[in-house]
Structure 1
Amino acid sequence: MALLLMAASGFAGLGYQIVWTQQFGLALGHETAAVLAVVAAFFGGLSLGALALGRRIEASGRPLAWYAGCEAVIGLWGGVLMLSLPAASQAVLALIGPEASPAWHWTVAFGASLLLLLPATAAMGATLPAMARLSTAGLSPLYAANTAGAVAGVLVTALLLVPAWGLSRSTALCVGLNLLCALGAPALLAARPADTAATPSSGRPLVLLAVTGLLGIAYEVLCVRVLSQVLEDTVYTFALLLAVYLAGTAAGAAAHARSPRLHQTPALLQALATSVLLGMGVLWGADLLKHSLQPLLPATLGGALALESLLALAVFGLPTALMGALFCQLSAEAQAARQPFSRALGVNTLGAMAAAPLFGVALAASLGPKGALLMVAAGYLLLQPCWRDWRWRLPTVATLAIAAWAPPMAFVEVPDGGRLLSYRDGAMAAVSVVQDADGVARLRINNRQQEGSSATQHVDGRQALLPLMLHGEPRRALFLGVGAGITSGVAARWPGVQADAVELLPEVIEATALFRPALGAGPGPHVINADARRFVRTAPTRYDVIVADNFHPARSGSAALYTVEHFRAVRQRLNPQGVFCQWLPLHQLDLDTLRGITASFLAAYPDGVAILASHSLDTPTLGLVGRTGPTQFAMPPRSALGARFGLGEPMAVLGSLVGDNTSLRRFAAATAPNTDDRPWVAYRAPRITYVPNTSPRDRLMALLGQLNLDDGHWLAPAHAADAALVSRVQAYARARQHYLDLGRRTVPSADPAVMLARVGPGLLAVLQQSPDFEPAAEPLRRLAQALAPVDPAAAEQLRAELATVRPPKDAR
């Protein structure tokens, strides 16, 4: 019964950690920040509970009441947080402020997390000492059962409960488990005799426990950081890495109870140092190992998650098993030295608490993952130096060799003929800029997300100009997310507009300097280093236009920018008749996820419409647009800046509309919105990342087939009665549909005559539908120009046909 209760308590404890990490991510702006803050808060509370309460429990004649009381406190405080954490998160946002320095941001992150979680985590820290008084099973089995329950809690909560139930109901289950543990405690055997006070004979085991707690969690934090550059870096990734880490620890604790060979501290420390070095070797080869294992597993979500689990096992398996055995051995040595178990547990978790800020924030950024991991290996070696033992000298030499000659632990895919322009390890991510053989530079975060490139300037510029021109008279614009800086940079050049841009990662802000020359001389945006959600909720400024970057919703923390609550907060930051545009990367979204995001957007902007940024088939970008007033648009002005991006004519701007409100609502019907409490997009979006099932062009055509512009409410009242204008916009939309379908079916050729035969009739037919549709006219002009030297007659005939279907502007 004791082992079952410990497993249930462990399940609830790590279930809370998964939920609280996601909830704190909403306030702290990034899942990495939330992970580090919650990990530190957990271990800090565990330490305080073990040190402050543990000795009293061990000396008490009523350990059963203590255990039941601690489980009840955990459950009750879990229930309090379930109800109050949204409001508390808002207070944390206000305390951090819109433009906090990194030092203040991290101080509030760690401090607020510790205080908010302290009642529950302190009670958690006292449960194991209490159970040690109530069970004859022994420390190692109790620790193993508690950790095994924690593994189940991570997996079940992250993979099943939160996606199906949401955060509050998942928390409620954990609350119920704690209360059941409290009620079930009387069924345990009677307590063992209380410990008699004795004078400790040595404090060395406590020192070792504190330092090994620090080093063990440091290894976890650093490996997760490195693996995020190799794995897909989704909510599933973090859950699997944590589960494998805990499973290895549980296995080591269980093995310690059965194997006397694991009762030698010097040997365990030497083995741990060696295993850390071996783990680093696996990390260096993780990308190669991933591609080697991938063909052996099924191309399904389960196969993809199994692959991530295997890589996690390769990195964590041996070190964590040794960590579990070492904790049990050092705890036994502490008891032999008359040190109470509560003190041993307390100092171990105190060291673990320091790992997140020290290694996860400070050393990972200053030394890089390689240097910080070498410090972990060296730490284990220096705890028990045995100069005459080859098992100590061998890992020492290996550590020094790796420090001197091994490359940095950075994963950057550089194409053939390309080069690395910039690489920065930050506290939350690694940011790189890579240039290919054609001179195209690309910005990446953790080697996974392409945040912009010098080759996408045309589309990036349109993502700025379309919302500005649909507004008509913008004076101040806000951009959530900087990427390569092209979008906000183009907006800053719009006459009379003051552009602000918010970016969480300072390394991204620095990297934009490499892309700035592509825009030429001109004013730039005011860039603010802050989290988008926090800035929107706390900044006092209001804006005429707010544009949200096309964040990949599967990546760490990005799905929180697609919730109903965030969209409503953006609405509060707009001036009257202000425009909000949320760009969506359709090439990274399946249609079911898009429906959920659309439903969330419509909950905040009930009469919203959809636009298309460009006519790209392979990287289509959809925009959801809403206003604080009626979502209606007047004829935009002609613009020289807009002409540089294919938006010089008003019809090109209105022609970007692809879906009216009626069709958009029909598309999102019967789909649950994505909310802070039910963040299902974070769990649905990774599926297409792991296992792509359709091509972007197929998804685009399927989407456009479900959207239309029939209701006519998207025009301002002054134009709504203009039947000819409505007809022109609708014809433009039909022409776009045929143009994209033609592009999807056409096989490119370098021979202009062949291409003319393949696309000429189709493009002319598109222009017959809508003479305004410039994207169909431009390739015909280029073909005529290419044909002129080799077949002048064909070129002249093409020009004549083009003039027939598309007369000069003043004739239209």
Structure 2
Amino acid sequence: MEQTSRFIASRRTTTLLHGLFLISGATTLVYEISWTRQAGLLFGHTVLAGSVVLASLFFGLATGYGVGSRLCQFGRPLRWFGGCEILAASWALLVPSLFDALQSPVVIRWMSDESQAWQWFSRAGIGIAIFLPATIALGATLPLMSQALSLGSGNPSRGAAIGYAWNTAGAMAGTLICTYLLLVRVGVSHSSFWAAGVGMGIGVLAIGLSRRDAMRAPNPIGGSVNVSGSASPIAMMTIAGLSGFITLALEILYTRLFSLVFHNSTYTFGNVVAVFLLSLALGSAIVAWLVKRTRAELILFWCGVSGAITCCITLALFVNVTRLGYFTVGDSFVEHLLRGFALVLGFIIVPVTVCGMIFPATWQVLSDRNATGRVIGTLAMVNAIGAALGSLSASFIMLPTIGLWGGFLTASVLLMAVPILVWPRQRRYPSVAAVTFGVLCIAVTAVAMPSWSTLGRDANEVFLTRRESAYGWIDVTRSKESDAWYIRQNLHYRLGGTGADAMRERRQARLPMLLHAYPQEVLFLGMGTGVTAAGAVHHQETERIEIVELIADVTAAARELGRRNDHVLDNDRVHVTTDDARHFLLGTDQRFDVIVSDLFVPWESETGYLYTREHYVAAAERLNDDGLFCQWLPVYQMGQREFTMIADTFATVFPETSLWWGKIDPSKPIIGLVGAMQPIELDESKLKARLSQLKEIVGGNDPQLAEAQDLRLAAIGDWRVQNADLLNLDEHPRVEFWTPQSLMTGKLLRGAWFAKFYDEVLTKLPASDISSDSESFLGDAAEVQETRQTLGFLLFGQ
């Protein structure tokens, strides 16, 4: 009876520990997502900055794993676990203030040297300094909890594997909760505050539980490591490092793979990460079940072989099933997300689950009841180092050099190294056959891969060149029916084109520049094809043209369009900087007469930060006193609530906010928000002279913006703030999360939805207050009404 009571008490304690570890995993991922976004505002939302943040986090976690393995020697692992959770939560409360304090032009200029190495190491230094206290504490929790679980388990390593499965499942839950709920409703930094509160609660409960249950302390020396079978500790360390390298490399590669078919919102990326974590949790749980039935070395052997095989097979299935077509399945937003989740699950769960079994299986080989925490902490430290290297290698070596398909091949080959390291002395012939079949799968996949790169292309375009990087595929294509050339990212996102689109793209530069009396210095946020910036080259009064482009491959692709974009990149007045637009504005000390912000897809992950109030404040601070900021909006890619929010946000910064047509089209309308700190004044005689001068320049004529009357026709009206309490902010990047909903529910401003918006909102805006020779440039009320009737006819034929 007494033994039964002890068993029940032990089971209850173990269940409590699993619950604590589950919630700990959830809070850790909320921290990571929140911190990554906050760091992006300081470092820039670039792949370079993202790799710095990830490397900084893994450096701290690796250090924490080592620290936790040493703390296990002092007994009471739950007490140490609770203390680490409280320490991490306490530091998490300080992180937002530290980032805010560092967001100064001085710090950003210090990080923005032309040397890529300096940019990386300067950011890494700051990232490590900010994250280190919390990540060390979070890393220490794994070996400490593993040690606590081992004390009440008949098989300590198996108990730790079950705990790790719960912790990883919690991480998946944290990813989904943060992505779908906390970021947009609670806020970016406040999400970490929420997680900190929960983390402190976990810490207090753990300390209380350690006092209630007199758990046996381990051997203070730490015990010796028992090596089962013939595998050596060095081999297990190598496999643990390989496991981390392969797993994180695959996460990067799978994210890029699904970006070829998804609309690349925060939700779709969150789905990929969540499925990845679910698969890792399943892998650990399966190991805990298998170790009672077979030797750990055999698990490692077959995981290495089957991991390589399933990676190749599922990749081939994905390509042949999707044909790299744009995923639009689902009649509602929720249904679309669920079907997208199912798609990711179907092609990721098997290979990643198998890969996820490798790391916990190494624990079973190196096992000791009295040193479980120390063994797991040491292996986890090596695994984390491998993970950091895998992430960096995938982003900066594999994708740019051997491409996406080559990256998957590399991961498969590395998986085949695992069975070699644990080659069984018995059953030699089945082992040889398995490895041979794995190598054959890799070889067949390598032969098939070249044909995969031809999928997903527009049937009406001729493929010319492709560049690969961590940002995906950048293609240059040409229309089959005309001489129009295009630049595409990840197959389905066109970054502009020449031909019929060229006039509209040049207009995006011309219109705001004509609204300025004398635009000498102009800044373009976004390169695209370079045609928009070429529109500024035609203005002879312009002395300096600065272009900021996030992706270097886009700039290289734009050079291929030289004759079609007036060789803008070879012009002496033009300078190109590769950087995040937001980061550039915060770091530069230059001032401009006109700043033109390109069309950015509002639902793409983190693009919403280019529509926040803080971004517009940074732009306003870089304008001369009479400067203009023009934000072009792809109206057809947002719903009415997103358009209204962006315009409201914009108008809270610029007291003079007016709306202008970039493209008068009911199916794909483009509208520009033009902001100024003082009323716009035009000298009509000078304006006519400038327009006449443009007509004489090759490529300078625009039939829709050739006369002063055309400029009047382009005017929509002034915008007044409608809801100052609902803005797009760094803390609440609502546009990024709301536009995917409008996309999937069919509420984008195009067709009938745009006609309704035009009638109910745009036609009722007050006329823009633009003066010319002490009179209204747009004319009196009757003239404004006549102009709007003309616009209605052009748009809807009525």
Interval of TM-score (by shorter of Structure 1 and Structure 2): 0.7 to 0.9
Give SS of 1:477's match. Answer: strand
Offset of residue 404 of structure 1: 4.1
Aligned in 2, Cα 1:277/1:594: closer, same or farther, shift over 3 Å? same
Q: Deviations over 1:56-101 (max 9, x none)?
A: 2121123233112100111011101133323335479615655644
State the match for 1:637 in structure 2.
688
| Equivalent-residue separation in structure 2 for 1:473 and 1:709 (angstroms) | 31
Tell me, in whole angstroms, the C-alpha distance in 2 between the residues paired with 1:345 and 1:191: 24
| d(CA) in 2 for partners of 1:198, 1:6 | 25
Q: What is the match of residue 5 of structure 2?
A: none
From 243, 250, 253, give the equivalent of 1:219: 250
Deviations along 1:682-734, one digit per CA (max 9) or x if unpaired, are 10011233343356133433333212487556222743368956643442233
Distance 2:641 2:389 in 1: 42
Relative to structure 1, the CA distance from residue 675 to residue 262 in structure 2 (aligned partners, 3 Å threshold; closer, same or farther) is farther
How far apart, in 2, do the equivalents of 1:91 and 1:354 lie?
A: 31
What amino acid does structure 2 have at the position aligned with 1:424? R
Letter of the 1:155 counterpart: L
- Mark the CA change 1:120 to 1:10 in structure 2 (over 3 Å): closer, same or farther: same
Partner Cα separation in structure 2 for residue 466 and residue 14 of structure 1? 45
CA contact (8 A) 1:633 1:714 kept: no
Q: Does 1:700 align with 2:754?
A: yes
Matched, 1:584 2:633: yes
Which residue pairs with 2:717 in the alignment?
Answer: 659
* CA distance 1:262–1:256, shift in 2 (3 Å): farther
C-alpha change, 1:83 and 1:658, in structure 2 (3 Å) is: same
Aligned residue identity for 2:24 = S
Matched residue of 2:663: which SS? coil
2:770–2:778 CA contact under 8 A, matched in 1: no
Residue equivalent to 1:155 = 176
Q: Which residue of 2 aligns with 1:9?
A: 24
Aligned partners of 1:129 and 1:341 also within 8 Å: yes
Cα gap change, 1:180/1:473 in structure 2, threshold over 3 Å: closer, same or farther?
same
Matches within 5 A, 1:793-808: none
Cα offset, 1:343, TM superposition: 0.7
Distance in structure 2 (CA, Å) of the matches to 1:182 and 1:248: 27
State the shift of 1:406 in Å.
2.3
Give the 5 Å matches for 1:418-497: 418-439=461-482, 440-454=484-498, 455-497=500-542
Give 1:460-539 correspondences, 5 Å limit: 460-497=505-542, 498-520=544-566, 524=571, 525-539=574-588
What does residue 320 of structure 1 align with? 352
Alpha-carbon offset, residue 344 of structure 1? 1.4
Q: TM-score when scaled to structure 2?
A: 0.87
What is the CA distance between 1:402 and its match in structure 2? Answer: 2.6
Residue in 2 aligned with 1:167? 188
Shift of 1:617: 2.5
- Partner secondary structure for residue 637 of structure 1: helix
Cα 1:412–1:81 change in 2 (3 A) is farther
In structure 2, the partner of 1:786 is none
- Structure 2: which amino acid aligns with 1:501? I
- Aligned equivalents of 1:358, 1:432: Cα separation in 2: 23
In the superposition, relative to structure 1, how do residues 314 and 93 fare at CA in structure 2: closer, same or farther (>3 Å)? farther
Structure 1 CA distance for aligned equivalents of residues 324 and 662 of structure 2? 38
List per-residue Cα deviations over 1:625-660 (Å, max 9, x = no partner).
Answer: 111323455533341326711222112113311021
- Could you say which residue in structure 1 is the equivalent of 2:305? 270
Is 1:477–1:546's contact at 8 Å kept on the other side of the alignment?
Answer: yes
**227-236 or 113-122: bigger deviation:** 113-122
Q: Which amino acid aligns with 1:139?
A: A
Cα deviation digits, residues 113-166 of structure 1 (max 9, x gap): 333211111111100211123232510111011111111100011101111111
User: 2: distance between equivalents of 1:283 and 1:88?
Assistant: 44
Cα distance in 2 for partners of 1:98, 1:117 equals 21
Give me the whole-angstrom Cα distance separating, in 1, the residues matched to 2:34 and 2:435. Answer: 42
Name the counterpart of 1:556: 605
Q: Give the letter for the 1:657 counterpart.
A: A
State yes or no: 1:393 paired with 2:393: no
In the alignment, is residue 24 of structure 1 matched against residue 39 of structure 2? Answer: yes
Counterpart amino acid of residue 41 in structure 1: S
Match among 695, 708, 718 for residue 650 of structure 1: 708
Provide the C-alpha distance between the structure 2 equivalents of 1:471 and 1:419, rounded to a whole number of angstroms: 40
- 1:716 equivalent to 2:771? Answer yes
User: Residue 794 of structure 1 corresponds to which residue in structure 2?
Assistant: none
Does the 8 A contact of 1:63 with 1:130 survive in 2? Answer: yes
Deviation at 1:435, TM superposition (A): 1.8
Change (3 A) 1:480 1:99: farther
Change (3 A) 1:46 1:564: same
CA distance in 2, matches of 1:237, 1:171: 21
Question: Which residue in 1 is equivalent to 2:91?
Answer: 77
Match in the other structure for 1:178: 199
Letter in 2 for 1:579: L
Distance 1:615 1:34 in 2: 38
**Aligned 8 A contact 1:29 1:504 in 2:** no
Gaps of 5+ in 1: 743-761, 763-812
Verify: 1:309 aligned to 2:341, yes or no. Answer: yes
1:518-569: per-residue Cα shift (whole Å, max 9, x none)? Answer: 2447774322222211111111211100000011111132111000000000
Q: Which blocks of at least 5 consecutive residues in structure 2 are unaligned? A: 1-15, 154-158
Structure 2 counterpart of 1:124: 138
For 1:107-256, list aligned pairs within 5 A.
107-135=121-149, 136=152, 138-185=159-206, 186-188=208-210, 189-195=213-219, 196-200=221-225, 202-203=232-233, 204-256=235-287
Distance 1:521 1:471 in 2: 25
**d(CA) in 1 for partners of 2:259 and 2:55?**
20
| TM-aligned CA distance change 1:39 to 1:311, over 3 Å | farther
Measure the CA separation in 2 of the matches of 1:282 and 1:80. 46
Cα RMSD of the aligned pairs, angstroms, is: 2.6
CA 1:54–1:367 in 2, change beyond 3 Å: closer, same or farther?
same
Residue pair 2:240, 2:379 contacting (<8 A) in 1 also: yes
Paired residues of 1:369 and 1:409 also in contact (CA < 8 A): no
Q: Which residue of the partner structure matches residue 776 of structure 1?
A: none
% identity of equivalent residues: 26
CA contact (8 A) 2:629 2:676 kept: yes
Cα gap change, 1:116/1:139 in structure 2, threshold over 3 Å: closer, same or farther? same
Q: CA deviation at 1:277?
A: 1.4
Residue 669 of structure 1: aligned partner? 723
Indicate whether 1:330 and 2:362 are aligned. yes
2:61 corresponds to 1:58: no
Task: After superposing the two structures, state which structure 1 stretch, 566-575 or 228-237, moved more.
Answer: 228-237
1:41/1:114 contact within 8 Å kept: yes
Range 437-446 or range 142-151, more displaced: 437-446
Aligned counterparts of 1:134 and 1:39: Cα–Cα separation in 2:
28
Is contact 2:77-2:147 (8 Å) kept? Answer: yes
Change (3 A) 1:429 1:301: same
CA distance 1:42–1:354, shift in 2 (3 Å) = same
Cα deviations across residues 552-594 of structure 1 (Å, max 9, x unaligned)? 1111321110000000000010011101100000111111111
Indicate conservation of the 8 Å contact 1:660/1:707, yes or no.
Answer: no
Structure 1 equivalent of residue 592 of structure 2: 543
Deviation at 1:490, TM superposition (A): 1.4
SS at match of 2:656: coil
Amino acid at match of 2:58: F
Q: 2:796 is matched with which residue?
A: 741
Which is worse superposed, 520-529 or 675-684? 520-529
The CA distance in 2 between the partners of 1:175 and 1:358, in whole Å, is: 32
CA–CA distance in 2 between the matches of 1:409 and 1:102? 33
Measured in 2, the distance between the counterparts of 1:563 and 1:620 equals 22
SS in 2 for 1:233: coil
Instruction: Calculate the TM-score normalised by the size of structure 1.
Output: 0.85
Three-state SS of the structure 2 residue aligned to 1:553 is: coil
> Which amino acid counterpart does residue 688 of structure 2 have in structure 1?
P
Distance 1:721 1:446 in 2: 47
Give 1:308 shift: 1.9
Q: Secondary structure at the match of 1:482?
A: coil
